[in-house]
Amino acid sequence: MKVAVVGATGLVGNVMRQVLVESKFPVTEFMPVASLRSVGKMVEFAGRDYAVVDLAAAVSARPDIAIFSAGGSVSTEWAPKFAEVGTVVIDNSSAWRMDPGKKLVVPEVNGHVLTREDKIIANPNCSTIQLVMALAPLHRKYQIRRLVISTYQSFTGTGMPAVNQYLAEKNQETDIQRIYPHPIFENCLPHCDVFLDNAYTKEEMKLVNETRKILESPDIQITATAVRVPVDGGHSESVNVEFVNPFVVEDVRKILQESKGIIVQDDLAHNIYPTPLQAKNKDEVFVGRIRRDESIENGLNLWIVADNLRKGAATNAVQIAEYLHKQEWV
């Protein structure tokens, strides 16, 4: 199978190459794709070096699958060109997520919505992926009425410019190229992505809109606050859930334990609960601090953690590709 990774030299692109190898995805021909300034640069994949090619050359090569992680403007322009030559595009940007004609997919949650005809498939936002992984099995059982979400998101979610800013601040350098308006080292910024007219950020509204689309439940009431934190390892989320139907906490724990891709870590007597440091470089979503919200009827609190570069981006994209291959659609 001929596989192209668009944005292969970036932070997520590097992890995508790693996950493709680890998952033993049947790549027979690998094609790293990046901007013109990176053309000819050598990148490693499965023990071999490959020369980076540009987007036009990649389209001409007609890969079976193109996994994009190169930003919304690149995806908007080039994903249709790949689709026109028969390539299945799995796009990690926000470009196609809320397009009513495109599927927004977390395979464990809603892989069933995919068909052979889907040529551009959207990978959800990192914070949304780990959220719906934990909520979907509970929603099926108890029906979610309302969500209050607070996120604690790694600076790695903003890419290499944010990593460079963090390291420069940590090393007390004087010439710092800032991607954030304030220091991120030893700081927290309630500012993920840009502010919108409603005073929420784009990241916060992604949690609202993408969650509703993936769960196929437009009436769930959702509010979110997204915070950027000086953590290299993963995103954490404090999630307050109000269900329509009553539940027993032990049943909730059992449902999560039996859900694919979720690991429950909830042993307070031994101080066992998820942390982003522990989740780093892992593909699963970790859930702990499972407890009833005693202030409302049918309320539940969860703490959800995952590596944002893996399950929150690269791993989920590769899992979509694996789903398509299993169905023999690619």
pLDDT for the residue 233: 85
Q: How far is CA 232 from CA 158, 160, 225, 244, in A?
A: 11, 12, 20, 37
Predicted local distance difference test score (pLDDT) of residue 126? 98
> Are 162 and 208 within one domain?
yes
Cα maximum dimension of the chain: 60
Q: Which active-site residues does the annotation give? A: 126, 235
**In a shared domain, residues 93 and 75:** yes
d(CA 277, CA 308): 12
Q: Are residues 134 and 100 in the same domain?
A: no
Asked whether residue 54 falls in the same domain as residue 103, the answer is yes
> Which of 301, 291, 275 has its CA nearest to residue 148?
301
- Are 278 and 178 found together in one domain? yes
What contacts 166, CB < 8 A, 6 or more positions away?
Answer: 155, 184, 185, 230, 232
Domain holding 56, by residue range, is 2-124+313-326
pLDDT at 197: 98
Number of domains making up the chain: 2
pLDDT at residue 18, rounded to an integer? 97
**Cα–Cα dist 15/315, whole Å:** 8
145 and 118 share one domain: no
Q: Write the burial class of residue 104 (CB in 10 Å: 0-12 exposed, 13-18 middle, 19+ buried).
A: buried
Determine the number of helices (DSSP H) and then strands (DSSP E) in the chain.
10, 14
Residue-by-residue pLDDT tens, the chain, 330 positions: 999 999 999 999 999 999 999 999 999 999 999 999 999 999 999 999 999 999 999 999 999 999 999 999 999 999 999 999 999 999 999 999 999 999 999 999 999 999 999 999 999 999 999 999 999 999 999 999 999 999 999 999 999 999 999 999 999 999 999 999 999 999 999 999 999 999 999 999 999 999 999 999 999 999 999 999 999 989 999 999 999 999 999 999 999 999 999 999 999 999 999 999 999 999 999 999 999 999 999 999 999 999 999 999 999 999 999 999 999 999
State which H helix or E strand residue 245 sits in. none
Same domain for 99 and 140, yes or no, is: no
